[in-house]
Amino acid sequence: MPSLSLESRLDGVVGGKTAAALGRAFQMQTVGDLLSHYPRRYARRGDLTPIDSLPLGENVTIVAEIRRVSERAMRQRRGSLLEVVIGDGLSEVSLTFFNQQWRMSELRPGRRGIFSGKVGQYKSGRQFAHPDYVLFDGDVENTLRTTAAFSNAMIPIYPATSSLPSWKISQAVDLGLDSLGGLDDPLVGEMRERMQLLPFADALRGIHRPETDADVDAARRTLRMHEALVLQTALLQQRQFVRALSATTRASESGGLLDRFDAALPFERTTDQISVGDQISADLTTPWPMNRLVQGEVGSGKTLVALRAMLQVAESGGQSALIAPTEVLAGQHLRSIARMLGPDLAPALMPTLLTGQQGTAERRKAALRVASGQALIVVGTHALLSDKTTFADLGLVVIDEQHRFGVEQREALRAKGTSPHALVLTATPIPRTVAMTVFGDLDVSTIRSMPTGRAGIETFVAPVAEKPGWFDRVWARVAEEVGKGHQAFVVCPAIDPTASTAAARDDDADAADAPVAEGAPAKPRWGVVQAADLLGRHPLFGSIRVATLHGRMPGEEKDAIMRSFAAGQIDVLVATTVIEVGVDVPNASTMVVLDSDRFGVSQLHQLRGRVGRGSVAGLCLLVTEAAGGSPARSRVEAVARVSDGFELAEIDLELRGEGDVLGDLQSGARSSLRLLRVVDDAALIGLARDEAERILEEDPALSRHTGLSSAIERRLDVAERAAMARA
């Protein structure tokens, strides 16, 4: 076979059938894709896998020894059942094969091999039904069983599927390695030597064909640096690309809209609001598009900062579009903006709502205002992305809660202007390492200080599995708060967990479909339907006005309910996480989160930010049945213990790991980490950032760093680079 490159098609190396299977299972297309599918661990022929630790219901690959083999006729149907018992010296698991007597000739007691299958339960023991396996060669086994060479030989165990077991992937990897020609190294010689890293080819061999643990460690260290440098260089290239575009400068005028707005503010802006506002104002005067992320706690004043940017754009006749993830939040933003503008400025800017739930006549009227340029501030949902929505001069795109939108949706809005400035808002504090890894092409601003006059929030865990009596006390506290004239939220992870999955899921909620953390019940107990029914029958709630809200309600109905709640016409609102962002009801003093272990740390922190927003002290009660000491319970207790969102973000990253955090991102470019770990490799990421900046300063086109350029193209294919450019 002639020498191939990492860009070579996979079917030319492993054959069409195997290439198709690898493509379906892991989206592999090239030799490079295959060789970047790294082993998750290594087994040794001399080390049998502990069988007691095998998780039920999961596909596993283990090394074990055959103990017993037997065949018997089946009772209920014709044919025979072959049962093979394998063990690790302490425990055993059975393999079952139907009508495959011929396997007895190779599955002999005393032989060892690798066995792969889904762990099931049969009677009181574990079982693999029709597993895949590869036995160690008999002659080699007999010769080397007593030698260290046999026992210590390292067997790579790859992420696999039921149709592609680990050893089939290993065979494909061997073909790929053997077919490779020379490799262009992403790290130039000087850098590699300075960091004491391996040549690229040696690192690939070391991770796929190690002889010792030291081989694996050296290979992983090198390949982690490759990943970090590739990602950071690509992000910095994207920043260069944006700054190469031409944008209309939007300078504010003395005595203009912005000065009039500031003069009418009934409060002083916080130090952070002023400094972040100044950063944005300077960005808007540059000849390239602003690309800035503003992160801040719930209630820290991000909307105020964004509105001041919109006013600066409006000074030159430019329009601003704010896109929100839900109808409720879009309506909330419009009312908040109109209120902040006041009767003097609102008519001049004509803030306009445009959503898919509007009636035909109302929507047509709004669309005409937008197209004519009469509406200088436009707030909406996905309706802003419609081909029918056009702008006269779109100068600024504000994206609220960016994690709720796909890359394509964000690009569709930005494409409606000529390189408009972009401002992304998030109330989810982002750890520095994640910000550097995920939003490295954006300028990041942080609002830490909170406006004065906030009474604060107290948060308590109600572990009702251990202390059942606390459940009644939760509702008594809610009734007490309502009796004082305040209002309360009751948040549930689903609409109705007893219904089908589709019916139970809330389009605006994440928690109902979140992976269940260890220690949490298998499914939520409480949904909006169950909680509302409970309160409807509760003796303390006879005169308390209770309403429900969830993502499957029509937009007009959701908006009407939130208006009623904000007006004090509803005492207790039972809802899903549709109220997570943007709902501002200063009189709401209490929040109960049922099945709180179903939510993430950041999400719980955002939810509780809905109370304690005025002069009334907030109370958040996190109800959970998660076992004490479990990861699920640890998350909930962390939220109760820590009130600072930025500290919680770091705790969340430690508890969950970056797999979940980065898994939320919808750009393939940014979720393509293989070996890099955001928490553990923070220093490495920072070093890679510095190296990438130095490289691009000296060699902007990477003409002298062809290996790095090729690595970027391999890792970030055309679609991913396009996605990255649109983020």
The pLDDT tens digits for 491-545 are 999 999 887 554 444 444 434 334 444 445 556 789 999 999 999 999 999 999 9
HSE at residue 417, side-chain half, CA atoms within 13 A, is 27
Structure tokens at 348: 């001049």
Is the backbone of residue 41 left (phi > 0), alpha (psi -120 to 50) or beta? beta
574 pLDDT higher than 70:
yes
What is the C-alpha to C-alpha distance for residues 72 and 179, in angstroms, rounded to an integer? 47
Q: What is the pLDDT of residues 148-178, one digit of tens each?
A: 454 567 889 898 887 888 888 999 999 999 9
- Residue 522: per-residue pLDDT: 56
- pLDDT-above-70 percentage for the chain: 86
Q: What is the CA radius of gyration of the chain?
A: 30
- Residue 300: per-residue pLDDT: 83
Q: Which helix H or strand E contains 395, and what residues bound it?
A: strand 394-400
| Chain position carrying tokens 């100068």 | 395
Q: What is the pLDDT of residues 211-262, one digit of tens each?
A: 899 999 999 999 999 999 998 998 888 888 878 888 888 987 777 899 999 9
189 pLDDT higher than 80:
yes
- Residue 583: per-residue pLDDT: 62
CA-based nearest residue to 414, from 428, 424, 426: 424
- Structural contact between residues 609 and 637, judged by C-beta atoms closer than 8 angstroms: no
83 pLDDT higher than 60:
yes
- Residue 408: per-residue pLDDT: 55
87 pLDDT higher than 80:
yes
What is the C-alpha to C-alpha distance for residues 665 and 528, in angstroms, rounded to an integer? 28
- Structural contact between residues 380 and 367, judged by C-beta atoms closer than 8 angstroms: no
Give the C-alpha distances (Å, rounded to integers) separating 493 from 223, 228, 599.
Answer: 40, 36, 7
421 pLDDT higher than 60:
yes
Assign 483 a pLDDT band (cuts: 50, 70, 90).
very high
pTM of the full predicted structure?
A: 0.67
Q: Which amino acid is present at 625?
A: E
CA-based nearest residue to 291, from 424, 384, 434: 424
- Residue 659: per-residue pLDDT: 45
- Residue 724: per-residue pLDDT: 47
Structure tokens at 427: 């109330």
Q: In 555-617, which ranges are E strands?
A: 572-575, 588-593
Residues facing residue 588 across a β-bridge: 487
| Chain position carrying tokens 């018992």 | 85
HEC per residue, 309-328: HHHHHHCCCCEEEEECCCHH
Give the C-alpha distances (Å, rounded to integers) separating 107 from 43, 82, 99, 136, 226.
Answer: 20, 10, 15, 11, 43
| Chain position carrying tokens 């609002």 | 447
Give the C-alpha distances (Å, rounded to integers) separating 478 from 362, 488, 535, 537, 540.
Answer: 39, 7, 11, 15, 9
21: DSSP letter: H
Most confidently predicted of 244-253, 350-359, 437-446, 537-546: 537-546
- Residue 128: per-residue pLDDT: 84
What is the C-alpha to C-alpha distance for residues 63 and 115, in angstroms, rounded to an integer? 6
Span 620-635, mean pLDDT?
90
Is the backbone of residue 419 left (phi > 0), alpha (psi -120 to 50) or beta? left
Q: Which helix H or strand E contains 117, and what residues bound it?
A: strand 112-122
CB atoms within 10 A of CB 39: 20
Structure tokens at 362: 């109302």
Assign 137 a pLDDT band (cuts: 50, 70, 90).
low
200-208 helix and 166-179 helix, angle to the nearest 10 degrees? 150
Instruction: State the pairing for strand pair 588-593/291-296.
Output: unpaired
Q: Which helix H or strand E contains 545, and what residues bound it?
A: none
What is the C-alpha to C-alpha distance for residues 384 and 130, in angstroms, rounded to an integer? 53
- Structural contact between residues 88 and 69, judged by C-beta atoms closer than 8 angstroms: no
Mean pLDDT of the chain: 83
- Residue 506: per-residue pLDDT: 46
Structure tokens at 711: 């690595």
392 pLDDT higher than 80:
yes
CA-based nearest residue to 204, from 191, 186, 190, 188: 186
- Residue 384: per-residue pLDDT: 82
Lowest mean pLDDT, pick from 159-163, 281-285, 472-476, 721-725: 721-725
Q: What is the pLDDT of residues 656-691, one digit of tens each?
A: 655 444 433 333 333 457 888 877 788 898 899 999
Which strands sit side by side in the sheet containing 319-323, from one edge to the other?
A: 352-354, 377-380, 319-323, 394-400, 421-426, 291-296, 443-447
CA-based nearest residue to 98, from 123, 76, 68, 124: 76
What is the C-alpha to C-alpha distance for residues 302 and 299, in angstroms, rounded to an integer? 8
